[in-house]
Structure 1
Amino acid sequence: MGFRPRLLDAAASRLRTRKRVGLVLGIAILLTAASPALAQKTLRWKLAAGDQLQVNVIQQTTSTVTIASKPVKTTMDMTLETLWSVDSADDKQIKITQTVKRLAVKLQTGDSTPIAYDSALKTPPVAAAKEVAAAVKPLLTEGSALMVTMNTRGEVLSAQANEKLAELWKTPGAKEIGGPGGSESTQELLKRSIVLLPEKRVDAGDAGKSKWTKEREVEIPIGKVKQATEFVFAGEVEEAGQKLDRIDFTSKLTLVPGGAKSLKLTLKTQEQTGHALFSAEQGRVVSAEQTQKLVTEAPYRETNITVTVESTVRTVVSPLKK
């Protein structure tokens, strides 16, 4: 009989322990079940009227033209610095005035003397660099700007020259100037969004699973092509002390029927991949990188001309330093 109180006390102690363990496990299960919902977020650009962003693009391109097994390589390095000034913004659209602050180009074919131009230099351009200067002059003229409208997912809806720039582009020969700074090529460049954000909310469990697509027609040197891009939410990463959301993307190009500038041109190889880092806290893209390889072939007399273009583009977006 003397052991019964001790047995009852031990049983009560075990019961209390089980209850405590059960309570802890219950809370843990509740938190585990709730955490995906709590971590869900909608990725959207969040800008306000008066905001200013510095958007810098660095592009490196190598083009190799091979005729009768003899390759000729051309390299181009381009730096483009632009200022985004937000005119208005709501939960659907953002209107931005985009001005070009600096453009630098270095071009070299084979062993020839490089062509170099930098709008930031005070010395006047010489030789072939004068053509580049003429091409970019309308964009760099004070008062010139491009009026861009995009939705909060980052899709560019329209890009038009303001009155000043449109007038400069009417100058005889201005629209025919090729390369960087030309009217049509610049407007086409602006229609390319940095990245298209997911329509639905995402969380950590969606990494590698949440996918969305975008198709559009675009004019490139070989002609008109259809670009189909697949985006994939790759989850949260940490870079330079910031928690960012990574979005990977892959694009495929196909020639639009009748779109090739040469009826005999064929698209042999095309690869385009990249990723963007987005700050949900700041409501903007932080950076993006893209690589592309394009190989085309066309008959020429008794041989073929093969053109291989490889490029990398890096975009960095940051608040304007005042």
Structure 2
Amino acid sequence: MFESKALIDDHHMILVSKRMIFSVIGTLLALTLLLMVFFLHIDFDYLLGRKDLAMKVGQTTITLEELKQIQEISGVQAKKLDAAAFASEFFETLLFAEGGRKLGLDRRPEFVRKVSVFDLALKKGDDKETLARAVFLIEELAATARREIADAQYHPADLQAIKVSVPAQEERLHLKTILVANAEEAQQVFSEQAEGVAFADLNASWSRSLYRGVGGDIGWKKAGDFPETVFAKLLTLEPEVLTQGFVDESGVHLYAVVSRPKVDPAQQAKAERELQLRELRRRRLMKYIVELRNAVDFWVNPVLQTRCQIVSRADAADSSQ
């Protein structure tokens, strides 16, 4: 494989075969590939004995035990969540808090004032209160960051570009009723109305209803107030025209429409704008949380990643590097 060749100046050089050169290059490439795979997937925090670490976002580190304590002191709603759901929510809170620091919100006078008031309320200064103070700072800073992003000024065109559909209100009808004993009486009532007898007179002459004393007025009613298909039939009625609703042990129930709800264009426009603003805020927060995931160095315990469906960035797998 090796050959020695004499040179004019009495030096020697080693001739290496092509096979050996390619073997060395191949070996180096294979080792490089293995090292790349190793460093991409290795979890240094876990290997260094940090099994009790829950998550690290920016400079904030939370252990599994601290996460459990935080859930216990975070109020009734937090206690109702299972551990995985709470971990997911708190991870997002930490991201927003880190975003707040990057925006300098923790240096604003109103935030500093809030912290001072909270500090005055602490008396013991024990570990539990220290943790409570830390959680307070994190949650307040996260809430401030959310408001800052969601409520930032916008161009009217941005709002108009958001298409929303205002949910239709449940259909209602203002109704009057006459209750008669049987089909024969009902037919007589229909005949008299056709002859021009007013509803008030028909009610006074024929109705057995408890609403007779108030002119038969039963107020605003919805589909759920009647047997199936009855309300759909009433929707087709012209005002003040009697029709048979249904029959039960009480007798035959006749109904007439007094009025329908009036659509207020101003109210409709207001409802649409509120929905657009809500959607704009939601989109801004979603975009910002994605930006934070890409910009902030974070690490999450592999156990929590599985249970909380939190996916770490590839370049943030090792927060200690």
For the criterion TM > 0.5, the same-fold answer is no
Higher Cα radius of gyration: 2
Name whichever structure is richer in helix by fraction. 2
Name whichever structure is richer in strand by fraction. 1
Larger RCO (CA within 8 A; separation ≥ 6): 2
Q: TM-score range by the shorter chain?
A: under 0.3
Scaled by the length of structure 2, the TM-score of the pair is 0.24
Scaled by the length of structure 1, the TM-score of the pair is 0.24
